[in-house]
Amino acid sequence: MTKKIDYIIVGLGLAGACLALQLLKRGKRILVYDMPQQNRASTVAAGLFNPITGKRVVKTWKADEIFSYLFQFYREAEKELKVKFFYDRPLYTPFRSIEEQNEWMSKSADDGFNKYIVQVATHPIFESEVNDPLGGILLSKCGHINTNVFLEGVRQLVQEKESYLEERWVEEKMQALDEGIVYENISAEKVIYCTGIHALKSKYFEKLPLKSLKGEVMTIKTSQALNRIYNRGVYVVKSGEMEYKVGATYDLQNLSEGVTENGRKELVQKTGDLLSIPFEVTHQDWGIRPSTIDRRPIVGEHPTEKNVLIFSGLGTKGVSLAPYFSGQLADYMLGRGNLDKEANITRVKSLYSKFH
pLDDT band at 199 (very low <50, low <70, confident <90, very high): very high
Please, which residues bridge with residue 300 across strands?
310
Give the pLDDT of residue 352. Answer: 47
One-letter identity of residue 173: K
Task: For 277-293, write each residue's pLDDT tens digit.
Answer: 999 999 999 999 999 98
Task: For 169-195, write each residue's pLDDT tens digit.
Answer: 999 999 999 899 999 999 999 999 999
Task: For 64-119, write each residue's pLDDT tens digit.
Answer: 999 999 999 999 999 999 999 999 999 999 999 999 999 889 888 887 888 899 99
pLDDT at 54 over 70: no
Q: Is 293 exposed, middle or buried (0-12, 13-18, 19+ CB in 10 A)?
A: exposed
- Are residues 14 and 314 in contact, defined by beta-carbon separation less than 8 angstroms? yes
Give the pLDDT of residue 203. Answer: 95
pTM of the predicted model as reported, rounded to 2 decimal places: 0.94
pLDDT at 355 over 60: no
- State the DSSP H helix or E strand holding residue 101, giving kind and residue range, or none if neither: helix 98-107
Higher pLDDT, 42 or 15: 15
pLDDT band at 24 (very low <50, low <70, confident <90, very high): very high
Handedness of CA 32, 36, 38, 44 (dihedral sign): positive
Average pLDDT, the chain: 93
Whole-angstrom Cα distance, residue 15 to residue 311? Answer: 7
Give the pLDDT of residue 351. Answer: 52
- The end-to-end CA distance of the chain, in Å, is 31
pLDDT at 207 over 50: yes
Neighbours of 157 (CB within 10 A): 20
